[in-house]
């Protein structure tokens, strides 16, 4: 049997979701508890805790973990963790909550009871410190910074017992896979070296090239889609799923790819988020993470290869998963195929630059999209979506 990489931290997976048979009684108890509403990012983090993706965390961070995470990318007990996972609460509500008290965590939009938390700590954070360290900017135009700066004043720490995973298991049947499930699939396939490909976009030819490079190196590939909230203009998850299905069906060898989705909300923290993506992909059973140009970036806040360089700064043993750092990819008309600066000797005049931003622009302007940019089957799915927008 193949030996999979261990979960992050070296222990077992720690899914915080209560078994289905026990949830009804706990939800009834939770109805009588103080209810704390969660913002969308906090909901997505709770679902990641529920499925075990944030192993070894068992809940939302206390002040020591928060500060160490911000400044040194570790928890208070020294486990590598690059981005704080915290829960905020309005001060007037927090004042009435005692240390040791159990509270009900509810979706701030729907009101659904999602979890019970035992409050171990209440504390205020330095929002600007978090933004400077995690996002490398305090510019409120950055979507991640804006979320942090707008969050309520008090953080509530403590372990959680999750009672729901929201709509994701039903909406994305067969796609919403928990770490224990992907690990079982990798073992069934005989894979021990598995690359994760992170995407919040439909896959164009550059993405396809990166994915195939990863398959050459590893036993198999996990195409891992963001199912949580994105920024305006991004393609909805259900459309992406159809487009990626079309790509896999027509252009990948059967049995080399698993497509899955997970419920995180993007922070757009660039290099730091690339590290977080690596950490929880290890929990899913992956040994490698494909890190391309401007991984998890937004706007011009990060250099194109900052997410490559940050892996080189980590102390030995921070995590077992390794990055697959791949140069900017493009279609070269002289090479007659996809290439990078490491493999193509030709000039810019022979290269077609490919990006998700440019693809969306071409659709919005109703330009003809060449085969060198995106596969015909993918374009058909995306064109139907854009046509539906009117």
258: left (phi over 0), alpha (psi -120 to 50) or beta: beta
At 348 the pLDDT is 95
Helical H segments across 252-375, by residue range: 271-283, 306-309, 356-364
At 230 the pLDDT is 64
201 catalytic per annotation: yes
At 251 the pLDDT is 97
Q: What is the DSSP string of 154-176?
A: EEEEEEEEE---TTHHHHTTTTB
Provide the 3-class DSSP secondary structure of residue 281.
helix
For residue 117, pLDDT beyond 90: yes
At 202 the pLDDT is 86
Q: Would you give the DSSP letter of residue 313?
A: G
What's the half-sphere exposure (Cβ side, CA atoms, 13 Å) at 251? 18
The sheet carrying 351-353 orders its strands as 337-340, 329-332, 351-353
At 134 the pLDDT is 98
Q: Report the C-alpha gap between 132 and 105 in whole angstroms.
A: 29
Q: What is the pTM of this model?
A: 0.95
For residue 390, pLDDT beyond 80: no
At 357 the pLDDT is 79
At 1 the pLDDT is 57
pLDDT digits (tens, 9 = 90+) for 219-258: 999 999 998 766 667 788 889 999 999 999 999 999 999 9
- High-pLDDT (> 90) share of the chain, %: 87
Rounded average pLDDT over 324-352: 95
Q: Report the C-alpha gap between 77 and 58 in whole angstroms.
A: 14
324: left (phi over 0), alpha (psi -120 to 50) or beta: beta
The catalytically annotated residue of 183, 201, 240, 375 is: 201
Residue 363 confidence class, pLDDT cut points 50, 70, 90 = confident
How does the average pLDDT of the chain come out, rounded?
95
User: 340 is written with which tokens?
Assistant: 């990078």
Going from the N-terminus, what domains does the chain have, and what CATH number goes with each? 20-168 (3.10.400.10), 173-388 (3.40.50.620)
Rounded average pLDDT over 178-202: 95
At 384 the pLDDT is 92
For residue 296, pLDDT beyond 60: yes
Rounded average pLDDT over 282-287: 98
For residue 268, pLDDT beyond 70: yes
Which residue, among 271, 348, 357, has the nearest Cα to 309 in the 3D structure?
271
At 361 the pLDDT is 86
pLDDT digits (tens, 9 = 90+) for 322-332: 999 998 899 99
At 355 the pLDDT is 84
At 200 the pLDDT is 82
Q: Report the C-alpha gap between 378 and 390 in whole angstroms.
A: 19
- Give the helix, strand, coil percentages of the chain, each rounded to 5: 35, 20, 45
Q: Report the C-alpha gap between 263 and 172 in whole angstroms.
A: 10
Through-space distance between the first and last CA atoms of the chain, rounded to whole angstroms: 52
At 360 the pLDDT is 83
pLDDT digits (tens, 9 = 90+) for 8-51: 999 999 999 999 999 999 999 999 999 999 999 999 999 999 99
155 catalytic per annotation: no
Q: What is the DSSP string of 114-141?
A: EEEEE--EEEE--HHHHIIIIIS---TT
Rounded average pLDDT over 317-346: 95
The catalytically annotated residue of 200, 267, 281, 351 is: 200
Scanning the structure block, which residue is given the tokens 């059967």? 254
Provide the 3-class DSSP secondary structure of residue 262.
strand
For residue 2, pLDDT beyond 80: no
User: 307 is written with which tokens?
Assistant: 């997410």
For residue 359, pLDDT beyond 90: no
Residue 251 class from Cβ within 10 Å (0-12 exposed, 13-18 middle, 19+ buried)?
middle
Rounded average pLDDT over 151-158: 97
pLDDT digits (tens, 9 = 90+) for 203-222: 999 999 999 999 999 999 99
Strands 220-226 and 194-199: parallel
Residues making up the chain, counted from first to last: 390
């Amino acid at each position: 049997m193949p030996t999979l990489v261990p979960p992050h931290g070296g222990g077992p997976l720690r899914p915080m979701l209560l078994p289905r048979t026990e949830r009804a009684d706990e939800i009834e108890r939770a109805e009588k508890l103080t209810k704390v509403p969660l913002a969308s990012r906090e909901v997505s983090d709770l679902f990641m805790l529920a499925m075990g993706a944030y192993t070894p965390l068992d809940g939302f961070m206390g002040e020591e973990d928060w500060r160490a995470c911000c400044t040194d990318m570790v928890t208070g007990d020294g486990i590598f963790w690059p981005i704080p996972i915290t829960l905020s609460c309005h001060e007037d509500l927090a004042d009435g909550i005692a240390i040791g008290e159990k509270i009900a965590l509810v979706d701030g939009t729907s009101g659904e009871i999602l979890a019970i938390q035992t409050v171990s700590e209440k504390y205020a954070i330095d929002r600007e410190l978090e933004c400077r360290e995690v996002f490398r900017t305090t510019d409120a135009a950055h979507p991640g910074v804006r979320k942090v700066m707008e969050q309520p004043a008090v953080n509530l720490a403590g372990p959680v017992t999750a009672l729901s995973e929201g709509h994701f298991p039903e909406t994305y049947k067969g796609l919403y896979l928990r770490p224990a499930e992907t690990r079982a699939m990798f073992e069934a396939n005989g894979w021990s070296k598995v690359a994760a490909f992170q995407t919040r976009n439909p896959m164009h030819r550059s993405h396809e090239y990166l994915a195939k490079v990863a398959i050459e190196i590893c036993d198999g590939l996990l195409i891992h889609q963001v199912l949580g909230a994105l920024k305006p203009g991004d393609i909805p998850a259900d459309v992406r799923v159809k487009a990626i299905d079309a790509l896999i069906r027509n252009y990948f060898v059967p049995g080399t790819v698993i497509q899955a989705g997970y419920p995180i909300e993007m922070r757009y923290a660039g290099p730091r988020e690339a590290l977080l993506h690596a950490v929880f992909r290890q929990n899913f059973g992956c040994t490698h993470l494909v890190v391309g140009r401007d991984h998890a970036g937004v706007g011009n806040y990060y250099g194109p290869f900052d997410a490559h360089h940050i892996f080189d700064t980590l102390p030995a043993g921070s995590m077992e998963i390794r990055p697959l750092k791949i140069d900017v990819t493009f279609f070269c008309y002289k090479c007659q195929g996809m290439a990078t600066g490491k493999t193509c000797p030709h000039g810019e005049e022979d290269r077609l630059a490919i990006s998700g931003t440019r693809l969306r622009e071409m659709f919005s302007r109703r330009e003809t999209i060449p085969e060198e940019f995106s596969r015909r089957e993918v374009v058909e799915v995306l064109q139907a979506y854009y046509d539906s927008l009117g």
